[in-house]
Amino acid sequence: MEDGAVPDYYELRRYQLRNGPQVKRLDEFLERVAIRALNDCGVRPVGVFVGVLGDVNPAVYTLLRHTTLESVATVRSRLASDREFQRTGAAFLDVPATDPSFMRVESSLLVAFDAIPELELPPGAGTAAPRIFELRRYESHSDAASRRKIEMFNTGEIAIFRRTGLRPVFFGETLVGARMPNLTYMLTFEDMAARERCWATFRADPAWKRLWTTAGLTDPEIVTNVTSVILRPAPYSQI
């Protein structure tokens, strides 16, 4: 990690919804209530994304950037004591069991990698500029294997990403979440065509081919499963 750099902590939430009122209710809550309240708590930026490919829809993802673990641990209690948040969010927060605002929420806590200790806002963040995101998760069979993959990213793979046009938003090691041990990262592209071009350039890169075939770092040795979800940012997303 760069000298003096303090890593970000990320809470990645996935809302599983039912088609119908839940979609609009969550959208209005995030845009009009939640983002403002989270920003007031020092949680910024807040990303909101809709699943496009690779997920069961409708699903909405939120990415919350924290600068300390204390922020992660206390944000819920701070929101619970925020009277304005509770008042303006009542239509989402205070609902009966017969009319839930969502089906389930899955949440993961991640800590940023040494090579990219802070979230990197993409061009067009917070605007209507067209862009897509790819959220990728690499699972491993053991903590040791996962650490080797993280070190592989820190010492070479992220640099190759950047050189071949793969633009990262964040890289994080999952501290708490499902299907551990794993790491998760997010990339951004102008569109799907740009995504295909960048990945093709990366796969053809000689330095990547050497790294990928290094003994002890091959996928069969350290990665057991890779998932990829294509996301579209909500118009009001801060990322």
Specify the residue for token string 């350290």. Answer: 222
C-alpha span between 221 and 215 (Å, rounded): 9
C-alpha span between 186 and 29 (Å, rounded): 24
Flag whether the pTM goes above 0.85: yes
Positions of the chain with pLDDT lower than 70, given as ranges: 1-4
Domain 9-233 belongs to what architecture?
A: 2-Layer Sandwich (3.30)
Q: Taking a C-beta distance cutoff of 8 angstroms, is the pair 41, 1 a contact?
A: no
Specify the residue for token string 């920003």. Answer: 39
CA distances from 170 to 7, 20, 209 (A): 11, 32, 23
For residue 210, which phi and psi values (nearest 5 degrees)?
A: -70, -45
What's the confidence (pLDDT) of residue 58? 93
What's the confidence (pLDDT) of residue 125? 84
What's the confidence (pLDDT) of residue 129? 81
What's the confidence (pLDDT) of residue 111? 98
> 64-84 pLDDT, tens per residue?
999 999 999 999 999 999 999
The domain segmentation of the chain, as residue ranges, is 9-233
Phi-psi region of 118 (alpha: psi -120 to 50; beta: other; left: phi over 0): beta
